[in-house]
Amino acid sequence: MPDLTLRKAAVSLICISMLFASSCVKVPAQHDYGVFLSVTEDLDQLKDYKTVVIDAQFFSAKEISDFKASGHEVFSYINIGSLENWRDYYDEDLTLSAYENWEEERWVDVSREEWQDLVIYGLIPELLDKDIDGFFVDNCDVYYLYPTEEIMDGLTVMMRSMIATGKKVVINGGDTYLDAYCSSGGEWSDVITGINQESVFSSILWDEDKFGTADAEDTEYFKDYIERYADKGAVIYLLEYTTDENLIKAIDAYCKDKGFTYYVSDSLELTIG
């Protein structure tokens, strides 16, 4: 099983402790898709991207509506499996354990009704009021660490609530949860419309503060995951971290062959250069 830390998408917007230096290689803009979790103002700087992922908490409904009016699709980040200590609803009593490599974040006990209610009756309606097109759902990988029926049920209640809004629901990673849910008799379309998978080809070398190439075993594992659900009708996105021109070419060729959409970031912060 690939290392869970390679699936991480959430970015701390208050204190970023790790900076990955870019090489002289210029990463080409992928105009179909971009993930910009550290962008907290001025959506116009993302105008070159058709579909963007932002944290809509930092933008008004008018800002998002105006941006969409110029032809863009907007997904909002929503973290249902872990909790950052800078969120105004942070409550350590709802958490289970520390999140490796992310000091300001803890895994959430998603089986708790208090957490489910906050997401379903608080966060989801607030994001809908921002006129978003869909949800970019992070950290369903809590089920990888805590593979219990209660954790699966808690995730499923929240995922189905998002599907019920009629908006698109893209799960970030989440392979262990999604496979287990479907193996237990659920339909993938009950809980998602698409998958964003990080680090299919690239890797994050945490101890060295730089990017690398994913192990062949990890690449094949994630290819199998996304291709299985693509065959069922799920929309697939890749999010890669690299400045390696050859690796970017391999990512581009693979996605063109499979009909997938991708974004290559040259920084873990997921900001725009």
The superfamily in CATH containing domain 4-265 is Aldolase class I (3.20.20.70)
Whether the predicted pLDDT of 66 surpasses 70:
yes
Range of weakest confidence among 23-37, 151-165, 216-230: 23-37
**CB proximity list for 53: less than 8 A, separation 6 or greater:** 34, 35, 36, 37, 75, 76, 77, 136, 196
Euclidean distance between CA atoms 156 and 20, whole angstroms: 35
Query: Pick the residue with more confidence: 30 or 85?
Result: 85
Whether the predicted pLDDT of 16 surpasses 60:
no
Whether the predicted pLDDT of 212 surpasses 60:
yes
Confidence at residue 10, expressed as pLDDT on a 0 to 100 scale: 38
Give the whole-number percent of the chain exceeding pLDDT 90: 80
Whether the predicted pLDDT of 171 surpasses 50:
yes
Query: Pick the residue with more confidence: 7 or 257?
Result: 257
Confidence at residue 18, expressed as pLDDT on a 0 to 100 scale: 35
- Tell me the sheet residues that pair with 197: 238
Whether the predicted pLDDT of 31 surpasses 80:
no
Closest CA to 16 of 224, 270, 210, 232: 270
Confidence at residue 273, expressed as pLDDT on a 0 to 100 scale: 62
Encoding tokens for residue 9? 């998408």
The answer to whether the pTM exceeds 0.85 is yes
Range of weakest confidence among 28-37, 54-63, 66-75, 206-215: 28-37
Q: What is the mean pLDDT of the chain?
A: 89
Backbone angles phi, psi at 23, to 5 degrees: -85, -175
